[in-house]
């Protein structure tokens, strides 16, 4: 839904150690893909553990607009798909709200069907670049007409006789990779995407799970993913794992709030998503993976985060960026409490998320008394270590859920707490955040 209603000012105060068990919601990336691949399949896909955040609910609405039946029955979501190439033309504008993943993946999966759809979103999404998706979609024969700079609202006219495509990603983006692969579903022959840096691989894995033929080969140019077009996707039963990007918030809170001991069970540690946890361990965090096991071919563990007061700054390897791209805002909060500088390079993509996250975090941390340096694709946070973080400010969250949650966690550990002007975007990815953090003992108030 465009817009988030009334802003919800919130304040986090220090002095309360966090303890207990935090069950975070379902993975956002896998939730979007479950609905989309279910809608492109023949038969009924049943999904449990779906993230019921605004981003994913907007994708559910979009799938209904293209003709799939999507409904919730008890704890299970049911999707009756229309099959590859079976999308109907929506009768109204598709509003993807705050979700880059939603709009880019849905554009991909309609772009090789002879229908037209117009997309929009909230003020944040209308400011984000769509050319990165419409350029490869044009190679299939799709046309697009948007605002200047490739911005929403945008109309996509699907290709009548799509051609298969070979495309080398110019940016490390799983959203672009996925849009091209989803478009390739309804093109004859083989569609190939080549990525220099491995990004999250849920689309490849799930396409295989739904019965498509997907090959992955490593070559000198990078990772080549080949999809054989026009498969009949078969409906599946999906259990969505819990989201490591949401787990990052209670985990990092446990590391920076004195006296804390927090358990976050059942978190997927797919290597294309787990870069933050590796980085935190390099910083000397008391973070353990309990009951490490294999579930559905992916490593899963219960994460236990304990405050130790012994965090040190590190240099995050740029090649790790894709595996923790959504976690830099909360990492920069942990870095503020560590001893010495934390250097983050190769993070240009942060500038085109729900907000310019380098700028948003630099402004937030400086307002809290932390020194930050930044450049086009880098940021250095000068950790305060034993001196502690002052806090005390009220900062703008810029329609960005991750900035909002990162600000509140900083406030739980800073001497004078921290206020945010609007916590409403948190509902896009983590609607239970406030209740869950309060359940651990955090002092969070509205206003
Ligand atoms: O494919 C996905 O589900 C996502 C990919 C990432 O975006 P990019 O692929 O644009 O980096 C990430 O930031 C987003 O939250 C989810
Ligand atoms: C970048 C994010 O999401 P999206 O691109 O789907 O809006 C995010 O959740 O941090």
200 lines ligand 1 (CB under 6 A): yes
Q: Which atom of ligand 2 is nearest to the CA of 429?
A: 9
210 upstream amide cis, omega within 30 of 0? no
ipTM computed for the complex: 0.99
pLDDT at position 4? 58
125 and 157 in a single domain? The answer is: yes
Active site positions, annotated = 326
175 lines ligand 1 (CB under 6 A): yes
337 and 381 in a single domain? The answer is: yes
- Contact between 24 and 431 (Cβ < 8 Å): no
pLDDT at position 295? 84
100 and 202 in a single domain? The answer is: yes
- Kindly report, residue by residue over 244-262, the tens digit of the pLDDT: 999 999 999 999 999 999 9
What is the tally of structural domains in the chain?
2
- Contact between 176 and 189 (Cβ < 8 Å): no
Domain end among 239, 259, 288: 239
Distances from the Cα of 299 to the Cαs of 25, 132, 302, 338, in angstroms? Answer: 18, 31, 11, 29
Tell me if 411 is assigned to a ligand binding site: no
Write the CATH number for 304. 3.65.10.10
Q: Which atom of ligand 1 is nearest to the CA of 105?
A: 1
Q: Where residue 447 falls among pLDDT bands split at 50, 70, 90?
A: confident
CA 168 – CA 194 distance, rounded (Å) = 5
- Kindly report, residue by residue over 175-186, the tens digit of the pLDDT: 999 999 999 999
99 lines ligand 1 (CB under 6 A): no
Ligand 1 centroid–CA 174 distance in Å is 6
Average pLDDT, the chain: 97
- Kindly report, residue by residue over 288-307, the tens digit of the pLDDT: 999 999 887 789 999 999 99
Q: Which residue, by CA, sits nearest to atom 9 of ligand 2? A: 326
135 and 267 in a single domain? The answer is: no
pLDDT at position 2? 43
CA 82 – CA 86 distance, rounded (Å) = 5
Phi-psi region of 276 (alpha: psi -120 to 50; beta: other; left: phi over 0): alpha
429 lines ligand 2 (CB under 6 A): yes
CA 334 – CA 342 distance, rounded (Å) = 9
Ligand closest to CA 29 = 1
Q: Which of 362, 368, 355, 443 is nearest to 410 (CA)?
A: 368
pLDDT reading at 366 higher than 60: yes
405 and 316 in a single domain? The answer is: yes
Domain end among 191, 216, 239: 239
314 and 232 in a single domain? The answer is: no
Q: Is residue 2 part of a domain?
A: no
425 lines ligand 2 (CB under 6 A): no
pLDDT reading at 3 higher than 60: no
pLDDT at position 296? 76
Structural domain of residue 350, as residue ranges?
A: 10-26+241-446
Tell me if 173 is assigned to a ligand binding site: yes
The predicted model scores a pTM of 0.98
CA 161 to chain centre: 33
138 and 282 in a single domain? The answer is: no
């Amino acid at each position: 839904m465009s817009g988030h209603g009334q802003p919800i000012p919130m304040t986090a105060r220090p002095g309360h150690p966090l303890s207990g068990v935090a069950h975070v919601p379902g993975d956002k990336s896998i939730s979007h893909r479950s609905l989309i691949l279910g809608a492109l399949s023949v038969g009924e896909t049943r999904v449990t553990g779906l993230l019921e955040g605004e981003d994913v609910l907007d994708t559910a609405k979009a799938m209904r607009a293209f003709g799939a039946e999507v409904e919730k029955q008890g704890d299970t979501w049911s999707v009756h798909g229309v099959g590859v190439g079976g999308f109907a033309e929506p009768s109204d504008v598709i509003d993807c709200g705050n979700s880059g993943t939603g709009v880019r993946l849905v554009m991909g999966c309609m772009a090789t069907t002879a229908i037209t759809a117009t997309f929009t979103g909230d003020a944040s999404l209308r400011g984000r670049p769509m050319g990165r998706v419409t350029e490869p979609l044009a190679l299939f024969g799709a046309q697009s007409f948007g605002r200047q700079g490739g911005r929403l609202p945008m109309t996509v006219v699907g290709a009548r006789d799509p051609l298969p495509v070979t495309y080398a990603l110019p940016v490390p983006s799983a959203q672009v990779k996925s849009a091209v692969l989803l478009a390739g579903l309804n093109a004859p022959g083989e569609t190939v995407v080549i990525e220099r840096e491995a990004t999250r691989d849920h689309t490849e894995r799930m396409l295989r799970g739904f019965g498509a033929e997907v090959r992955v080969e490593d070559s000198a140019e990078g990772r080549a993913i080949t999809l054989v077009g026009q498969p009949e996707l078969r409906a599946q039963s999906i259990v969505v794992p819990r989201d490591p990007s949401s787990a990052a918030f209670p985990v990092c809170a446990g590391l920076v709030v004195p006296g804390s001991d927090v358990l976050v069970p059942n978190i997927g540690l797919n290597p294309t998503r787990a870069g933050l946890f590796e980085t935190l361990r390099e910083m000397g965090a008391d973070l353990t993976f309990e009951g490490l096991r294999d579930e559905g071919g992916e490593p899963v563990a219960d994460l236990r985060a304990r405050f130790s007061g012994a965090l040190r700054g590190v240099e995050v390897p740029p090649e790790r960026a894709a595996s923790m791209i959504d976690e830099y805002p909360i990492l920069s909060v942990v870095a503020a409490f560590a001893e010495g500088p934390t250097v983050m390079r190769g993070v240009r993509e942060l500038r085109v998320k729900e907000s310019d996250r380098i700028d948003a975090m630099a402004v937030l941390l400086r307002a809290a008394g932390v020194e930050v340096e930044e450049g086009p694709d880098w940021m250095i946070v000068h950790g305060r270590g034993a001196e502690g973080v002052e806090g005390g400010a009220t900062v703008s969250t810029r329609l960005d859920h991750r900035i909002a949650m990162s600000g509140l966690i900083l406030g739980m550990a800073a001497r004078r707490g921290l206020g945010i002007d609007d916590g409403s975007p948190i509902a896009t990815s983590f609607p239970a955040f406030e209740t869950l953090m309060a359940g651990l003992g955090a002092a969070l108030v509205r206003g």
